[in-house]
Amino acid sequence: VYTSLGTMVGSLSGITSPTADAGSDDDVCETDSYTLSGSATDYSSVEWTTSGDGTFDNANILGATYSPGSGDLTAGTVTLTLTAYANGTCTDHATDDVVLTIVDAPTANAGSDATICETDSYTLSGSATNQTSVLWSTSGTGTFDDATLLNATYTPSTADITAGSVVLTLTANATAPCTDASDDMTLSFELAPTADAGSDATICETDVYTLSG
């Protein structure tokens, strides 16, 4: 015989396991920091860790900012891991990785300032690294034989010579997400000498002649 003395209703409240999404793999310029876009659900706390030697501004927020270290730059990539820890008494956790590829920043060196004669052209001695292309530009109105060459030749205009100098800028175009680099040099002009001996003349053999050069 089964006798019911009462009814007890029990409810079990399940605790959902956490999830973690570190975001998509991406590129970062070696000179920049990177703001992460992680997400997580059903977590009590989160933590970012790195396979390299960079630093987080706050490793316990989903949108942490990561600054690559010198070892990261040498390696060229770094793996960042987002861990989401469970709520309540659960001990499980979720992890996900994102790989940052570190892009080398360009450099540009336009060379030293120089002075030339107003009648001359000038062959530049620029240098650049980690660039996709280079381009020379001028603050004046002179011309380059080929502005896309590091050793382009610049021919000054009349306006350049009248101004006495011109600024020439070398721009090294970057690979995204880096930004372009540029550097300036000043080209100054010395006026060329002139000479005028005067007009032809005829004198008597017994005379002397005072020149009017």
Share of the chain above pLDDT 70, in %: 92
pLDDT digits (tens, 9 = 90+) for 196-211: 999 999 999 999 999 9
> How do beta strands 114-117 and 181-190 pair?
parallel
Share of the chain above pLDDT 90, in %: 89
Under the banding of pLDDT at 50, 70 and 90, the label for residue 213 is: very high
16-25, 85-94, 119-128, 167-176, range with the lowest pLDDT: 85-94
Q: b/e map of 66-76 (b: 16 or more CB within 10 Å)?
A: bebeeebbeee
**For residues 146 and 188, is the Cβ–Cβ distance under 8 A?**
no
Contact partners, residue 177, CB within 8 Å, separation at least 6:
27, 28, 29, 32, 103
Of the candidates 76, 77, 184, 79, the residue with the CA atom closest to the CA atom of residue 130: 76
pLDDT beyond 70 at 9: no
Under the banding of pLDDT at 50, 70 and 90, the label for residue 14 is: low
